[in-house]
């Protein structure tokens, strides 16, 4: 049976996917159980800072939230069936073990989502 401690390496790896975006986004949570980023300003379109992504420790897995796939569902086109199996809802991916191939795919998806935010001027 897995414990929260077993998920620490997964949490750190998912957190590392988001960390490169700290320079242009705002860290809204940075604890041992959660890490979260928002846009640093209110866009004209949304009138408030917009959630970008997060990694959160849960009891049975680690969740990775990526709002760009909710706003731009076409980002999911071409996603591997293996990564799609990790999805819960429209913008959440759950992991209970490290799978570097899936995490590399998720990192590329995160970069593409960030690029969409920049193109839509949600990030300067």
Residue 61 CA to residue 3 CA, distance in Å, equals 9
Residue 51 CA to residue 25 CA, distance in Å, equals 10
Q: Where are the domains of the chain?
A: 4-119
Q: What is the pLDDT of residue 3?
A: 57
CATH code assigned to 4-119 = 3.90.1150
Report pLDDT digits (tens) over 28-75.
999 999 999 999 887 777 788 999 999 999 999 999 999 999 999 999
Q: How many helices (H) and strands (E) in the chain? A: 4, 6
Residue 42 CA to residue 87 CA, distance in Å, equals 28
């Amino acid at each position: 049976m897995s414990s929260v401690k077993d998920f620490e390496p997964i949490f750190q790896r998912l957190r590392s996917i988001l960390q490169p975006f700290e320079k242009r986004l705002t860290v809204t949570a940075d604890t041992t159980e959660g890490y979260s980023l928002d846009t640093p300003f209110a866009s004209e379109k949304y009138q408030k800072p917009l959630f970008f992504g997060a990694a959160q420790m849960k009891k049975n897995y680690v969740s990775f939230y990526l709002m760009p796939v909710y706003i731009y569902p076409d980002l999911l086109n071409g996603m591997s069936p293996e990564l799609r199996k990790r999805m819960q809802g429209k913008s959440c991916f759950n992991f209970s073990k490290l799978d570097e191939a899936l995490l590399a795919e998720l990192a590329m998806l995160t970069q593409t989502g960030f690029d969409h935010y920049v193109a839509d001027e949600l990030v300067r």
